[in-house]
Structure formats: C-alpha cells, structure tokens
Chain A
C-alpha cells in the first residue's frame, strides 16, 4: 500500500479482555516497529522486527504483551488481560533497515481505551 496502515483506528475494551492490533507496513519495508504513546507522554519503544524475527523486544512492558510478524509483512500486537494503564495510542512504523539511513514512516495509530 501507499503507507503504513493500522487497524482498528479505535478500540474500546473491557478490563481483562484480550485485544489484537494490526499493522500493515509499506510494501518492501523489512523493518517494523511498535511504539506506545500515553496521554501527555513521549513515544515509548515496544518492539522491533527485522523480517519475521524480533531482535529487540526490550520495550514490551510485561508478559501480557506479545507481537508477531508473518511473511515479513503484517504484524500483530496482542495484549492479554488488558489493564486500564494499557490505554494509549499504539503506533506502528516501518522502514528499510535503519543502517541504510532511510526514514521511518508511521501509521495513524490505534487508540486503545480500556474501561
């Protein structure tokens, strides 16, 4: 596609439910990133994919968070047993590998609200 696509754009869920957030990167971009932006806070790195592997998962806040990427394309971020503090905007970005010095392009984000 023309840009990074995320779905859903908004998600309201009850505390304790599981949610899945989807990211379709720009075609051909091998690097994919998930970030979280809480109200009034900066962007918090969650996980980085190179192809289908995740060499850096250091930002995942707890074992309730997991992510996968298949076919070197679509990625899914799963949050199990959601808590109110998980409420945030989840942003996905893609690029060619950074060591090629190219831009990272972001999707519009998924606004998650846990009630």
Chain B
C-alpha cells in the first residue's frame, strides 16, 4: 500500500529565507508526483507536476525534484514571502499496471508553512 509522508508537519521562517519541503513515498511505481498548495478554508491549487520520467520542474520561485528510485521529492521555495504561507501537499499518482488499476492520488498530510514578515 502506497504511503506518502511529509516532513516537517509545520515550518515557520522569516521572510526572504530559502526553504525545502520534503515528501517521501513507499512505492516507487508511480506515474507522477504533484505538489499542491492549500490556503485555509480553500481547495487545492496545483503548483507543479513531475512526471515519473522527469527529475525536476520549475515555476517561478518554486522548484520540485523527484528521485523515484529512493521515493523522495523536495519542493524548494526561494526568497520566501508572507504570501507563501499555506499548507503544501504532496501527492503521487499510482501506476495503473502495478497497482491493480486503481486511479487515484495518494496524499501526504501536508506541511503548514508560515512566512513571517
């Protein structure tokens, strides 16, 4: 059974700092990995999608890496801003052929980030 773990559960940093959020998964047979942002009381906003054949994706100040063989992904946020404060969720998309055809995303519990002005 695929399990996704995110460390740390919460993180508080001063504005301007670079930071790294970690995600690990137990089964490397994934199709892709997706990072989401969730603001309080809101839905999820997709940030970056890394396909299983890729090693990283970048969007603005965000960079996500994927090491499928070791079951790890990191989300790097450069020059953090108070507006980056949110919960960041990592999710893996299961591989159809090896996971019994189950089509779903398996989520970690998230990292709650607070960027202090």
Contacts and interface: CB of A to CB of B under 8 A. Distances in A.
Interface of B: 31-32, 34, 36, 41-46, 49, 51-52, 89, 91, 93-94, 96, 101-110
Contact of B105 (A41, A45, A58): A45
Nearest to B51: A101
Which bracket fits the contact residues of A?
A: 20 to 34
From B32, B52, B94, B105, residue with most partner A Cβ within 10 Å: B105
Interface of A: 4, 6, 31, 33, 35, 41-43, 45, 48, 50, 55-56, 58-59, 91, 93, 97-99, 101-109, 111
B104 A42 contact: no
Given A101-B51, A106-B44, A107-B43, A33 B105 contact: yes
A98 B32 CA distance: 9
Given A98-B93, A98-B96, A103-B34, A42 B43 contact: no
7 contacts: A41-B109, A42-B107, A97-B103, A98-B93, A99-B96, A101-B32, A108-B42
Contacts of B108: 42
Given A104-B93, A105-B46, 7 more contacts: A33-B105, A56-B102, A56-B103, A103-B49, A106-B36, A106-B43, A106-B44
Nearest to A101: B51
Contacts of B51: 101
B30 to A, nearest CB: 10
Given A42-B110, A98-B93, A55 B103 contact: yes
A43 B87 CA distance: 12
A93 B45 CA distance: 11
Contacts of A104: 34, 46, 91, 93, 105
Considering residues B36, B101, B104, which has the most beta carbons from chain A within 10 angstroms of its beta carbon? B104
Nearest to A58: B102
B31 A98 contact: yes
